[in-house]
Structure 1
Amino acid sequence: MKKILFLGFLMTLVGILTACSETSEGAGEDYPNQSIELVAAGSPGGGLDTLARAIDQGLQDADLQNQPFVIENKGGGGGNPARAYIKEQDDDPYTLLTESNRVYVNNIVGNTELDIDDVTPLARMATEYLVWVVREDSEYTEATQIIEDLKEDPKAVQFGVGTVPSNDQMNIIRPVKASGIDASSVEIVAFDSGGDLMTQLLGGHIDVISTGISEAIEQREAGKVRILAVSSPEPLSGDFSDVPTWNSLGIDVEILHWRGLFGPPNMPQSAIDYWDEKMSELVETEEWQAILDKYKWFDAYADSETFKQALEEEKQTMSDLLSEIGLAEE
């Protein structure tokens, strides 16, 4: 009898210790109960680093942060090293990631086997929109003029982007294709960065650039460039209320140049639910709106399930377009 009671006691003790272990290491009822590693898939000062620090600061300022973030930068390699690291943290809710659409683009073009199944989408946090920009003295005053010239000769206009493949590139291919033009024949030149891209435009070395709206603001305010079209679903307000959307020009194209928050694969549902609640609260605060205004970002919040579905749809669209122009790996 004593042996039975002792064995029962041991089993109870093991159960308690196991529960405690799960609470401290996993996503127990008191999650999070320790600091969280937030990996930015980019170098300090870049967009993904800025997002990681903005989330941290926003949660602190809005008094929503239960545990501190420890931000780690893993830049380079097109984000592949950062995502490989996150995959290694399988089911660990104490390691998160800020990333962009490289979570599926890099797989499409064949430079990694990592795909959207190797991360857990938690929240699409913010977006930039993409624009067509020309010099102030350009012959083009409307995007439709460029489209008409391309219909006559797909090589009539030379475009510049920061990198390929990219959303900047999609902001050329998609409206061109939607206008009935062979997108594979259009000339698109990739430069090193947004800053170098603008230098090429201002120097007269390129006709039109496709870039994030934040990259064009300064030169537009200085009167050196014109913005001809923006990829937003709806017209923008304020300083950009005069910029037509593709939709308003009769071209069915919307592109979000988003950045988001991810977890490792097989993340516990309770942790996903926690971040759904926390991020949905954050994006409604004045503190987060101030952050959006500061960085010239736009609200594009999507919860975990909505974000996951959007990623799958985006991946299919991107795969089809990149296959069409010969950039997708067969």
Structure 2
Amino acid sequence: MRRNEFLKTMAALAAAGALPLSARAAANVKMMIPANPGGGWDTTGRALGKALQDAKAADSVTYDNKGGAAGALGLAQFVNGSKGDPNALMVMGAVMVGGIITGKPPVDLKAATPLARLTSEYNVYVLPANSPFKTMADVVAQLKKDPGSVKWGGGSRGSTEHIAAAMLAREVGVDPAKINYVAFRGGGEATAAILGGNVTVGGSGYSEFAEYIKTGKMRAIAVTSPSRLKGIDVPTLKEQGINVELGNWRGVYGAPGISAEQRKGLIDMVTRALKTKSWEEAMQKNDWTPAVLTGDAFSAFVDDEFAKLRATMAKAGMI
């Protein structure tokens, strides 16, 4: 084959996304983060973007933050604006699954392409440093006395912290429908509300509150893990007689309408990124637990999560 014919063939294959990964130029990735800056999805998306570049899988990564409705606004923008784009990625997770169950948005997650689960993280509940309450037992006592007086601050409706608060209420004999849950569009807003004493108790992934816990600006009173988190001296809800355990996983999706080969290429890119030093450092810094699951196995996991979360939320009186 002559050189010009070879180059034309390679160009056609590249345009169709059919080149093997090793033969493609590094991508210019567009990363949708369906939350405001400062939260877990934002941290995850930017850590993944850096790792993609460090792995030479991406020449550049641009980020688009679109918060609201447990990620449903960002999901809609991603689905409608990136059809067939083999370089588009979207961060998502358990929060989006819960939000779709409660909010029933017009654009469903099934419209996008599942690629990989990345991490798992348990929630921690915190009090403002100047709170009159000192322990989860204090919070529960007030909750039983006057459910509406306890403001639970966290992510959007249907988030894992919202679900856990409803489950906690049910376990201690309080009607979950009576909890006063204050939803925020992103981790930054929730953190500001907790530090300002505008909510009674806040919940989120440990990584979002770690620096404030360490400096004494927040008091950690419980985690939703089955056992105490490594290196973190915070009792579990189960230790405190409250039978609630709930994890918060995060993953990444591709655009609607991409080919099987393009999907495989994106999964390979992400897998390479997860082997970089910068991703390992992000895992350690944010106390994330590795939970890698790719392709069809991840797709089946998401379907199962929808079923399990729907059942849990119905039991807790949320739907």
TM interval, shorter chain, is: 0.7 to 0.9
| Residue 176 of structure 2, aligned match among 157, 177, 183 | 183
Mark the runs of 5 or more structure 2 residues left unpaired by the alignment: 1-6
Shift of 1:263: 0.4
Partner of 2:30: 38
Describe the superposition over 1:188-237 as per-residue Cα deviations: whole angstroms up to 9, x where unpaired.
34467223321343xxx543322332443344333344211112344212
Task: Call closer, same or farther: CA 1:279–1:140 in 2, change over 3 Å.
Answer: same
| Residue 289 of structure 1, aligned match among 280, 288, 291 | 280
Describe the superposition over 1:108-164 as per-residue Cα deviations: whole angstroms up to 9, x where unpaired.
3446211121112212223443222235565655435544664x5462860321444
Percentage of identical aligned residues: 24
Residues 206-285 of structure 1: matches in 2 within 5 Å? 206-238=199-231, 240=232, 242-249=233-240, 251-285=242-276
Q: State the Cα RMSD in Å.
A: 3.7
| Residue 54 of structure 1, aligned match among 36, 47, 51 | 47
Give distance in 2, aligned partners of 1:190 and 1:94. 32
| Residue 95 of structure 1, aligned match among 88, 94, 99 | 88
TM-score after normalising by structure 2: 0.75
Preserved contact between residue 52 and residue 71 of structure 1 (Cα < 8 Å): no
Structure 1 position 299 matched with structure 2 position 292: no
Tell me which amino acid in the other structure corresponds to 2:114: P
Structure 1 position 199 matched with structure 2 position 195: yes
TM-score after normalising by structure 1: 0.73
Give distance in 2, aligned partners of 1:235 and 1:140. 22
Task: Call closer, same or farther: CA 1:220–1:129 in 2, change over 3 Å.
Answer: same
Preserved contact between residue 135 and residue 224 of structure 1 (Cα < 8 Å): yes
Give distance in 1, aligned partners of 2:239 and 2:271. 30
Task: Call closer, same or farther: CA 1:82–1:37 in 2, change over 3 Å.
Answer: farther
Count of aligned pairs: 304
Give distance in 1, aligned partners of 2:242 and 2:124. 14
Shift of 1:249: 4.1
Give distance in 2, aligned partners of 1:189 and 1:92. 36
Task: Call closer, same or farther: CA 1:143–1:106 in 2, change over 3 Å.
Answer: closer
Describe the superposition over 1:80-99 as per-residue Cα deviations: whole angstroms up to 9, x where unpaired.
45433433444442222223
| Residue 167 of structure 2, aligned match among 171, 174, 196 | 174
Task: Call closer, same or farther: CA 1:115–1:221 in 2, change over 3 Å.
Answer: same
Give distance in 2, aligned partners of 1:115 and 1:212. 25
Mark the runs of 5 or more structure 1 residues left unpaired by the alignment: 1-15
Task: Call closer, same or farther: CA 1:274–1:168 in 2, change over 3 Å.
Answer: same
Partner of 1:161: 153
* Structure ranking higher on relative contact order (CA contacts 8 Å, 6+ apart): 2
Shift of 1:262: 0.8
Partner of 1:4: none
Describe the superposition over 1:222-274 as per-residue Cα deviations: whole angstroms up to 9, x where unpaired.
33442111123442122x1x212234445443333343211023443334444
Give distance in 2, aligned partners of 1:281 and 1:232. 29
Describe the superposition over 1:63-82 as per-residue Cα deviations: whole angstroms up to 9, x where unpaired.
x3234244141524544454
Give distance in 2, aligned partners of 1:103 and 1:187. 21
